[in-house]
Structure 1
Amino acid sequence: MATVGRAGRGSARVMAPVLALGALLVLLPAADAASVHPTVRKDETFLTAETGGVLAIEGGECFTDPGYVSFAGEVMVRYVPCDEGPAANQVYGFVAVPEGDGGYEPERVVAFGWETCGRGFRSHWPGEDAAAGIDFYPVLPTAATWEAGDRDVMCVAYRPAGPLTGSLLPVL
């Protein structure tokens, strides 16, 4: 009998925090559901052309944020059909970096990626209303992929507040 009494007190100590957490979750208003997903700002270092799976993503397609994929044994992104989501990102364009005179110049590639992807972003989502809740970032070639002939910048749109539930691209 003494064992049952100790187990009962131990489970009461475990159950109290669980019940408190459950009560807190019930009390959260539905409008705060977006706050469950922390706001994420992505930049040109978020992923690169060397990130596994990124070179298989095509224009208009949606994909995950990078994460470890056990069957592949590496950190990579995965294609997700936009209408079957949730996805984290959607490609809205590709632009080729001009060769230049000095080979791979990181500062020039970064500036080119932000400028050209920014123009494409403003073209797809003109004005504050169209772009509300959407942001973009460029996926850039690296020195290694540049050496292999990669000159493409992938322009990617995402929602900083949470996952995509369908295509972000405007219907034309």
Structure 2
Amino acid sequence: MAATRRWGLLPAVAALGTLFVVPPEAPVTKTDSFITAETTGILMIEGGECFSDPTFSPGAGERIVLYTPCAEGADNQSYGFTHVPDGPYDRAALSAFAWKSCGERHAELWNQDQGDNLPYYPIMPTAETWADGDRDVMCAVYRRTGRLTASALPPA
């Protein structure tokens, strides 16, 4: 009789266990429109610094990114900047230039195996910031699942 009661609870215990299973994070792919030069806080990030994904700030009334020490777990890390040649604003040409230049720098810093685990994306000027003279593209890396737990930059 005791064995019957014990096995009778098994389905209930198994069902409860599924309530506490944390599903793995869905892989994320960040594009050149994920963060732009108009995203509040991004212009404060220097090369090599880590920062958060954009979140809505009730105080600011808009989406912002925040500097985050890499060792505290960050969503992204800047690994360089590239200067765009002057000319009229052309989103498609700017995007092609940004992906190419950030990709070249990425390949210089990380070998193929490391690079696959650290995808990159460019943070580009917008038409408005371009009109104000912004010609810089920030290159950033991230992990598709989870956060960076330390600086992703290779040792110098």
Q: TM-score range by the shorter chain?
A: 0.7 to 0.9
Q: Using structure 2 for the length normalisation, give the TM-score.
A: 0.85
Identity %: 47
* 2:136 counterpart of 1:119: no
Secondary structure of residue in 2 paired with 1:166? coil
CA distance in 1: counterparts of 2:55 and 2:115, whole angstroms: 27
1:47 aligned to which of 35, 38, 43: 35
Q: Quote the RMSD (CA, aligned, Å).
A: 2.0
Q: Which aligned segments of 4 or more residues in structure 1 are displaced greater than 3 angstroms?
A: 19-22
Within the alignment, does 1:159 sit opposite 2:143 as a pair? yes
Deviations 1:106-151 (A, max 9, x none): 111111100000000001102x222241100000001100000100
Q: Match of 2:123?
A: 139
Which amino acid is the alignment partner of residue 61 of structure 1?
A: E
User: Match for residue 70 of structure 1?
Assistant: 58
Change (3 A) 1:132 1:107: closer
Alignment partners' CA distance in 1, 2:137 and 2:25: 28
Match of 1:129 among 88, 110, 113: 113
Counterpart residue number, 2:82:
95
The count of residues paired between Structure 1 and Structure 2 equals 145
CA gap of 1:22–1:52, structure 2 versus 1, over 3 A, is farther
Deviation of the 1:25 alpha carbon: 5.5
Q: Is the 8 A contact 1:61 1:90 kept in 2?
A: yes
Residues 29-80 of structure 1: CA distance to partner in whole angstroms, max 9, x if unpaired? xxxx7x6221100011111101111111110000011110122221111110
Which structure 2 segments of 5+ residues have no match? 1-12
| Runs (5+) with no aligned partner, structure 1 | 1-18
